[in-house]
Amino acid sequence: MAVGSMSMDKEMNRRSFLKLVGWAGLGTLAAGEVTYASLRFIAPRSVAGEFGGVITAGAVDDFPPGSVTPFTEGRFFLARLEDSGFLALYRSCTHLGCAVPWDAEKGRFVCPCHGSEFEVDGAVLSAPAPRPLDLFRVKIADGQVLVDTGDKIRRDDPSASQIVYA
Amino acid sequence: MDNLVLHLHPAKVNARALKFTYTWGLGGLALLLLSVLVVTGVLLLFVYTPTPDRAYNDILALQTSVMFGQLIRNLHHWSGNALLIVAVLHLLRVFFTGAFGSPREFNWQLGLALLLLIVMANFTGYLLPWDQLAYWAVTVGTSLLSYIPLVGDQLVRFALGGPEVDAATLTRFYALHIAIVPLGLFGIASFHIWRVRKDGFSIPRDLDEQPSPQVNRVTTIPHLLSIEFIFALVMIAVLLAWSVALNAPLEDAANPSHSPNPAKAAWYFMGLQELLLHFHPVFGAIVIPLLGLGTLALLPYLDRDMSSEGIWFRSRKGRTMAVVGALFGLVATPLLVLLDEYALDLPGMMPSLPTVLSNGWIPLAGLLMGLWLYYEGVRAVFRSTACEARQSVFVVLLVGFVVLTVIGIWFRGEGMALVWPWGA
C-alpha cells in the first residue's frame, strides 16, 4: 500500500518514506541553522547612545526663547519655544529620511526632498510627512541642557507633555 | 572554445530563428554587458576602499591619477545602466512577440528574478562613490522600506546596519555589490540560458502566417556564432566610444547634514519617486510595485487564449490596439499628474479619513477601475480577444511608467515642484 500520495508508478514503502522524511528534516534543520547564524552574524549591533550618547548642549541661558540651534554631530536641532520649553528634534524627515534644515525666515523646517514642512515643535504643517519630527530626550541638570541621542522618541502627535522646562 | 559555445547553444538551430530583427540580440547583449561589468568591476576593486573617509577620495584619485581610471569607471557605470535598459527591452521583446508562453513560463520567472538582481546591482553600486547623489538616493531608497507594516523599521536598520547611512551601510552594500548579487546573477543567468536551449527558440512568423512544419536546420557554428560575434564587436565599439565621450557623474562628497535640493533617486527609480509624490508611501513604494511585479509574473499563465508566438504584437488588430494604448498612456498620464498636482486634493476632501485610504486605496481603486473600463472598452470597440486587449492595457501601463520616469528626471525641480526642463 502507498504511504502518502507520492507517486503512481512507484509505490513508496515505509523504509523509503522514513528515509525521505529523515533526510528532508535534517536538511531543513541544517539550512535553518546556517540561515539563522548568517542573519545573526550580519545583524546590526545596537550601540548605546547611537549618535554620540548624551550630549551636553550648553547652559540653559545660552538658548534664548524662540531660538532653534542645530547640532550637526548629534543630528538634532535644539528648539527653545517661546514659553521657554526645550525640545530636541531629530533632523531626519519622517517621510523618507532627508536632512531637514531650519528655515529661519519662514520660521519652520522645510524638507528639500519632497517638500514636507514642520513647525518649530516638529508638528507637520505640510504633507507628505506622515508624523511629527522624532525627538531625543532632553534633561536639565545643574543649569545645563543634556540631550540623550540614544533615546529616540517616535510620536504620532505633538503634545505639551513632550516639552521640557528648566 | 567550440565546446563552450555548444554548451550554451544547441549544435543546430532553426535557420529562421537567426533573424536579427526578431530578437535584436538583446539577451546576448545583456550577457556581453555582464562580462564587461565583471572585467571593469574586478579592476575597480584594486583601487577602491569601501570606507566613508576613503571611498570618495579613491574615486577622485581614480579619475585624476590612475591610468585609464576614468575610462574604466565610465565603462562600468554606463554598462551597468545599459544592462538595466537592455534587460527591460529584452523583457518587452519576449512579451510583444508572445514568446513567453508554454513551455517558457518558468524561464520568464527566471528573467524577472534577473531583472530584480540587476536593479539591486545598480542600487548597491550607486552608494559606493560616496558622493551626495549616492548618499541621499540610498537614504531615500532605503527609507521606503520603513513603510512596510510591522517589520519596516527593523528592515531599514538591517539594510543600513545602523540608524543612518554610514560606514556599516557602505560595507554591506559593497559585499552585496561585489559578491552576493554577482553570484546570484551568474547562477540564475546560467540557468536562464540553459532553459532557452532546453525550451527551444521561438520562431518568428509574419502576420497571419501559420507555424510551418518544415524546418531548415543550420549548424550553430558558424551561422549563429558569426552573428553574435559581429554584434558583440559592434556593441563593444559603441560602449567604448560612449565611455570616452561621456564621464560618469560624480557630485560633492557625501554630507549627511545637508540634503541637496532637489534630492532625487537614481533615474531608474524616478517613476517610483513620481508615484510617491502622488500616493501614500505604502502605495507608492510597496503596494503598486508589488502589484506590477505580481502581474508580470502572472502574464505567461494568462495569455493562453490565442496562439501568437513569433508574431510581433499578436496580430494586425493587436498592433492597432497597441498604438491606441500608447497614445492613451501618453495623454492620460501627464493629465493625471497635472490633475493631482494642481486640482485634486484627496486628503483635503476627506479630512476624516486616514491618508492611507484617501491617498492610497481610493485613488488606486479609481485607477484600476479606469484600466478595467479601458480594457472592456477596447475589447468591445475592436471586437478583440482578451489577449489583444490585455496587451493594449500593458502598453498603457508601460507608456505610463515611462512618462512618469521622464517627468521625474526632467520636469521636477527645486522642492520637487513641476518645472520646464529648459527653465522657462
pLDDT digits (tens, 9 = 90+) for B148-179: 888 888 899 899 988 889 999 999 999 999 99
When pLDDT is cut at 50, 70 and 90, the band that residue B424 belongs to is low
The pLDDT value recorded for residue B84 is 97
Size of chain A in residues: 166
Ordered DSSP codes for B149-209: TTTHHHHHHHHHTSSSSSHHHHHHHHHIIIIIHHHHHHHHHHHHHHHHHHH-------TTP
Does A98 contact B160 at a Cβ distance shorter than 8 Å? Answer: no
The alpha-carbon gap from B120 to the nearest alpha carbon of chain A, in Å, equals 18
Q: At what angle do helices B220-245 and B26-45 cross, to 10 degrees?
A: 50
> Per mean pLDDT, which range of B71-75, B354-358, B374-378 is the poorest?
B354-358
**Average pLDDT, integer, range B303-309:** 80
pLDDT at B85 over 70: yes
Cell numbers linked to B423: 527653465
When pLDDT is cut at 50, 70 and 90, the band that residue A3 belongs to is very low
The pLDDT value recorded for residue A50 is 62
The pLDDT value recorded for residue A52 is 63
The pLDDT value recorded for residue B151 is 87
User: Is the minimum CB–CB distance between B257 and chain A shorter than 8 Å?
Assistant: yes
Output phi, psi for A115, to 5 deg: 80, 15
Does B258 contact A128 at a Cβ distance shorter than 8 Å? Answer: no
Rounded to an integer, what distance in angstroms lies between the CA atom of residue B255 and that of residue B422? 29
Contact yes or no for A108/A152 (Cβ under 8 A): no
The pLDDT value recorded for residue A133 is 92
Q: Within a 13 Å sphere around the CA of B90, how many CA atoms are in the beta-carbon half?
A: 21
Q: Within a 13 Å sphere around the CA of B161, how many CA atoms are in the beta-carbon half?
A: 14
pTM, whole model, 2 decimals? Answer: 0.90
Output phi, psi for A39, to 5 deg: -65, -40
As a whole-number percent, the residues of chain A with pLDDT over 70 amount to 90
pLDDT at A2 over 60: no
Nearest to B257 among A95, A97, A99 (CB): A99
The pLDDT value recorded for residue B221 is 86
The pLDDT value recorded for residue A103 is 87
The pLDDT value recorded for residue A55 is 81
- CB contacts of A51 in chain B (<8 Å) are 163
Rounded to an integer, what distance in angstroms lies between the CA atom of residue A110 and that of residue A93? 9
Rounded to an integer, what distance in angstroms lies between the CA atom of residue B383 and that of residue B379? 5
Nearest to A112 among B157, B261, B281 (CB): B261
- Residue B330, exposed/middle/buried by CB under 10 A (0-12, 13-18, 19+)? middle
pLDDT at A49 over 60: no
Instruction: Find the angle CA(B397)-CA(B398)-CA(B400) to the nearest 5 degrees.
Output: 60
The pLDDT value recorded for residue A154 is 86
Nearest to A44 among B136, B162, B280 (CB): B162
When pLDDT is cut at 50, 70 and 90, the band that residue B417 belongs to is confident
pLDDT at A46 over 80: no
Nearest to A127 among B146, B259, B347 (CB): B347
Q: In what order do the strands lie in the sheet with A117-118?
A: A102-103, A108-110, A117-118, A124-126
pLDDT higher for B263 or B146? Answer: B146
Helix (H) or strand (E) holding B288: helix B288-302
pLDDT at A10 over 70: no
- Total CB pairs under 8 A between chain A and B: 76
Type of residue found at B66: V
**What does the mean pLDDT of chain B come to?**
91
**Average pLDDT, integer, range A20-44:** 94
pLDDT higher for B58 or A82? Answer: B58
The alpha-carbon gap from B329 to the nearest alpha carbon of chain A, in Å, equals 25
Contacts (Cβ under 8 Å, ≥6 apart) of B53: none
User: Could you identify the residue written with the cell 527566471?
Assistant: B110
**Complex confidence, ipTM:** 0.80
* pLDDT tens-place string over residues B174-212: 999 999 999 999 999 999 999 998 998 888 988 888 887
When pLDDT is cut at 50, 70 and 90, the band that residue A82 belongs to is confident
pLDDT higher for B77 or A138? Answer: B77
Helix (H) or strand (E) holding B144: none
When pLDDT is cut at 50, 70 and 90, the band that residue B245 belongs to is very high
Q: Dihedral through CA A69, CA A73, CA A76, CA A82, nearest 10?
A: -20
pLDDT at B397 over 50: yes
Of A155, A157, A146, A32, whose CA–CA distance to A78 is shortest?
A146
- CB contacts of A109 in chain B (<8 Å) are none
pLDDT higher for B392 or B415? Answer: B392
Ordered DSSP codes for chain A: --STT--SSS---HHHHHHHHHHHHHHHHHHHHHHHHHHHHHSPPP-SSTTTSEEEEEEGGGS-TTEEEEETTTTEEEEE-TTS-EEEEE-B-TTT-PBPPEETTTTEEE-TTT--EE-TTS-EEETT--SPPPEEEEEEETTEEEEEEEEEE--SS--GGG-B--
**Average pLDDT, integer, range A69-98:** 87
Cell numbers linked to B338: 497635472
Does A99 contact B161 at a Cβ distance shorter than 8 Å? Answer: no
- A38, A46, A91, A113: best to mutate for the B interface, most B CBs within 10 A: A113
* pLDDT tens-place string over residues B318-375: 999 999 999 999 999 999 999 988 888 777 788 888 878 888 899 999 999 999 999 9
Q: Using alpha carbons only, how large is chain B's radius of gyration in Å? A: 23
Cell numbers linked to B283: 502605495
* pLDDT tens-place string over residues B248-262: 999 999 998 888 887
pLDDT at A1 over 70: no
Cell numbers linked to B225: 556564432
- CB contacts of B351 in chain A (<8 Å) are none
Helix (H) or strand (E) holding B14: strand B12-14
Contacts (Cβ under 8 Å, ≥6 apart) of B13: B201, B217, B218, B220, B223, B224
Distance of CA B85 to the CA centre of its chain: 6
Output phi, psi for B138, to 5 deg: -75, -35
| DSSP conformational letter for B317 | H
